[in-house]
Amino acid sequence: MVWGSELADSPNGGPNGYSRNTWPALLATNGYICAAYPGYSNYEIAKDLKLVIKDHIDIPFVIVCWTWPTRDKTYTSDRVIREFEHHCKYHGIPYLFTCVDNCLFDVVDYTKLDMANWFMFPSAEEDYNTQTPRGFYQWAVENKYSVGPEFHPLEDAHRDAAELIRSKFDELVEKFNQQNQARNSLS
């Protein structure tokens, strides 16, 4: 779930103004639904995703790029993310999480999360960049991908991010399909 601010096919926002060129949209083969909106907090992301899940019972997969924790004013990102992870597991919805910046883990206790369902971008080789696994925005900026006037990563970053994430995404989809087949054969 990434809006895609500043991407060429999403110039002005609006109800259907999200980009089809974000890395989550590129990973989705069909039926992509974006519940993101520019400037959302982690609480707003989780709230809108729960509404989409409620309205679309047959959601095959959820992808979330959690945002900067400073956008959360009332709720903590830690609680919101853990609750949404539980929501996905309770409803049997496979998910893949990442973040825009690994500063999220300054306020989120990652030891309480199922990190097997997370994708973190590789750490940098240069010692002046982030030496630990990083979020999408960190990775894009530190690898000098083009950004728009408001500093959002552009199409080349999203395209390469989708390729980096693809194997993790495919692994989680396959795992979910195998679990479903096992459940169906037992029924």
Range from 54-63, 106-115, 116-125, 164-173 carrying the lowest mean pLDDT: 54-63
Question: What pLDDT does 178 receive?
Answer: 81
Question: What domains are defined for the chain?
Answer: 23-186 (3.40.50)
Distance CA 92, CA 9 (A): 33
- 1-11: buried (b, 16+ CB within 10 Å) or exposed (e) per residue? bbbbbbbeebe
**In which band, very low, low, confident or very high, does the pLDDT at 183 lie, cut at 50, 70 and 90?**
low
Angle at 133 between CA 90 and CA 88, to 5 degrees: 10
Question: What pLDDT does 74 receive?
Answer: 67
Token pair for residue 108?
């989120």
Distance CA 100, CA 79 (A): 18
Distance CA 144, CA 173 (A): 31
The model's pTM is: 0.89
pLDDT tens sequence across 95-117: 999 999 999 998 888 889 999 99
Distance CA 40, CA 116 (A): 25
Task: Report the range out of 12-16, 126-130, 162-166 with the highest average pLDDT.
Answer: 162-166
Tell me which DSSP letter residue 48 carries: H
Work out the average pLDDT over 164-181. Answer: 87
Q: Are 2 and 22 in contact (CB under 8 A)?
A: yes
